[in-house]
Amino acid sequence: MSRARRASGRAVLVLAGALLALTVGEISIRVARLDQYRPPAILDPSGRHLADLSGIERFVAGTAAERGTSLTTVVPNLDVRGWYDRPKWDYFDADGCITYRTNSLGFRDREFPLDRPPGELRVLCVGDSFTFGLGVEGEDAWPQQLEARLLRRLGGQIEVINGGYASGVHPPTYAPWIARHPARLDVDALLLGICLNDLDADIPMYMPLRPRVRPLLGGHVRLLAVAGQALDGWLDQRATVPPPVRARRYLDRHAEKWGAFRTALISIRDSCNVAGIRLLVVVFPMLSQLSRGYPYGEFHQAISDFCGQSGIECLDTLPPFLGRDEQALWVHPTDQHMNDVGHALLADALMEWFAARPLAPRPR
């Protein structure tokens, strides 16, 4: 056999071995789903798929008939599960689920009387999915974590109501509801949770340091998709941190939405003043680049400045989050909402605030 034929045979064997290894790798990745997660979903108690979790706002609102006499826009007595693909936090059950339950009044909370019992300190928390506690159990959401801390510190009767999704998902939709219901619930204080996408829905929860690597062959070859993800991680470690988003320029370009946001806060302030209810605006961070040039700091300052100028008490909860690994605070790689640790940081920040500015029953 000639030397050329032997070399050609070895080349064929090497090529065949490489193709076999690539095929095995591709099959292994597809079987183990190492390259991607399935989207989170809402299941009924038996495990039947009801909706994608991305549509939970519409799902929990149901229809007017389903809401019935609920005080909120959430269906009362709801009992569903939130499912994630291979979550790693220990508050998920063996099936990768957490539970979403609402009480007979339409709050994600245990049952409590509409009429406030004598001597009870009652606090209402209003907000969007960050307040509702998307991706965590009810007791791990910041309103319930705050209640547990207040009970340990103050004792007595304390009720902190989780009003996440009580009415819409940003201040212009909260304002008409707040004009009626906090006084009806006879609350002493209203904590208004603000997520930065309340200013504009186009503000992303997570802003990567750099554009993602486009998957080769449209991502159909899973082995290449995994390689692309690894390359993204390597490039992120070496990326130059971009300058922060200039909030003033952004808000000037979105003047109508920024104006509606401010008008709603003034309306909420006035409703609380009429009812003698203490109002605290609580600004949440986006879990993005917390340790490498957080991009949204100027938005926090813009909200804080407006509240200060308008006589509205405001707590910016960003400081305790800075310097942390944001992914250690995410519910899941597919969901950048806060996990139980993030909610604990919010509750701790509120407790520190109230240590210097105590909660107290309002005059009745």
Statement: residue 21 has pLDDT above 90: no
pLDDT of residue 168: 82
State the sign of the Cα–Cα–Cα–Cα dihedral 205, 209, 211, 215. Answer: negative
Average pLDDT of span 76-84: 97
Residue 169 binned pLDDT confidence (cut-offs 50, 70, 90): confident
When comparing pLDDT for 4 and 119, which is higher?
Answer: 119
**How many other CB atoms are found less than 10 A from the CB of residue 82?**
25
Least confident stretch, 11-25, 245-259, 348-362: 11-25
Statement: residue 20 has pLDDT above 70: no
Nearest CA to 306 among 206, 194, 177? 194
**CA 273, chain centre distance (Å):** 29
Residue 211 binned pLDDT confidence (cut-offs 50, 70, 90): low
pLDDT of residue 26: 46
Percent of the chain beyond pLDDT 90?
A: 70
Q: What is the pTM of this model?
A: 0.86
Gap between the Cα atoms of 113 and 2, Å rounded: 93
Residue 29 binned pLDDT confidence (cut-offs 50, 70, 90): very low
